[in-house]
Amino acid sequence: MERRENNSNDRVERAWSRLYNRIESEGLLPEPAAPRESHRFAYLGLAATFTILMVASVALFKAFYSSTNEGEIHIVNSDQNSAYVKVLEDGSAVYLGSNATLSLPNHFGKMRRVTKLRGDAFFEIERNPSRPFVIETDLVKVEVLGTSFSITQSSVSVRTGKVRVWLKRDGSEITLKAGEGVNFDKDKIEKRPVSISASQFDRYTGKIHFKDEKLSEVVKILNRNLSKGGSKESILIDKTLDNRLVTATFSNETTLSCARMICIALGLEYNVSPSGNIQIYKAQ
């Protein structure tokens, strides 16, 4: 059953990609002709196409979901090829790896923000010194104040900030800073250097999915990842659009193509400023 579901997801994604490429090759996604020019997507010829994309997304995103059980939220990524990005109530973002699950309370406590991870993930934690963020796995416990780092079933790698890692079996503790990591098993924990490069965390940020995420959060994450990839342009949105919900997939896109995809999905418009920044807004 699982193999059939994964094959179905792969077929849907390939079909979606072919459809998008065909739209682009036929010139239905217009290139900006001049700075500050408005680009509308209210073409009748695209309406049926967008409906197909929306139907395809329903099948594709069954691999990404959240459920609530007895006061706990379980965020699940059962996809094999991409990360599921979810913004938590404190503003922290988690990029769940393939077949990973993050469990957390409906609301974080006043003293600590405690989560449980099964599988691999990359975290970007909102800084709050009075409420440390804690991730528990089967073998270790990781505590952070505000940082970005990845956790697998046998390692922790720090991109920015500091984290503390405890081995549950005997309480062994190691503090890590940016560029450091640890390997561990049930019996020992060992510090090691980490090569912090663009490719180090690509397995999480190269292809990402959002499901029913606020547009303001999607844009913030896209801009952060695009800037780390060398982009000098940013996506800007009107405040009135902050709470619009987005379900979309982004895979090594340019800033402009990200903006176009958002506009297609939500029926919005964009223009490009002389500086290259892209403003998204609602059609008048």
Least reliable range by pLDDT among 64-73, 238-247, 258-267: 64-73
Q: How much is the pLDDT for 4?
A: 45
Per-residue model confidence as pLDDT tens digits over 69-118: 778 899 999 888 889 999 999 999 999 999 999 999 999 999 999 999 99
Mean pLDDT computed over every residue of the chain: 80
Q: How much is the pLDDT for 252?
A: 77
Q: Is the pLDDT of residue 29 over 70?
A: no
Reported as a pLDDT band with limits 50, 70 and 90, residue 197 is: low
Q: How much is the pLDDT for 199?
A: 62
Q: How much is the pLDDT for 78?
A: 86
Q: Sketch out the chain's domains with CATH numbers.
A: 1-64+206-284 (3.55.50.30), 70-193 (2.60.120.1440)
- Kindly state the tokens that stand for 131: 């409420």
State mean pLDDT over 246-264: 90
Q: How much is the pLDDT for 268?
A: 94
Looking at per-residue pLDDT, the higher value among 276 and 202 belongs to 276
> At a CB cut-off of 8 Å and minimum separation 6, what does 3 contact?
none
State mean pLDDT over 234-263: 92
State mean pLDDT over 149-167: 91
Rounded Cα gap, residues 239 and 216, in angstroms: 8
Q: For residue 184, what are the β-bridge partners? A: 189
Percent of the chain residues past pLDDT 90, beyond the cut: 50
181 alpha-carbon distance from chain centroid: 22
- What's the sign of the alpha-carbon dihedral 146, 152, 155, 158? negative
State the pTM of this model.
0.78
Rounded Cα gap, residues 126 and 145, in angstroms: 8
Percent of the chain residues past pLDDT 70, beyond the cut: 73
Q: How much is the pLDDT for 97?
A: 93
Query: What are the angstrom distances between the C-alpha of 236 and each of 220, 223, 240, 252, 258?
Result: 9, 9, 12, 19, 12
State mean pLDDT over 10-32: 50
Q: How much is the pLDDT for 34?
A: 41
Looking at per-residue pLDDT, the higher value among 189 and 12 belongs to 189
Q: How much is the pLDDT for 13?
A: 54
Alpha helices, DSSP H, located in 34-91: 44-60
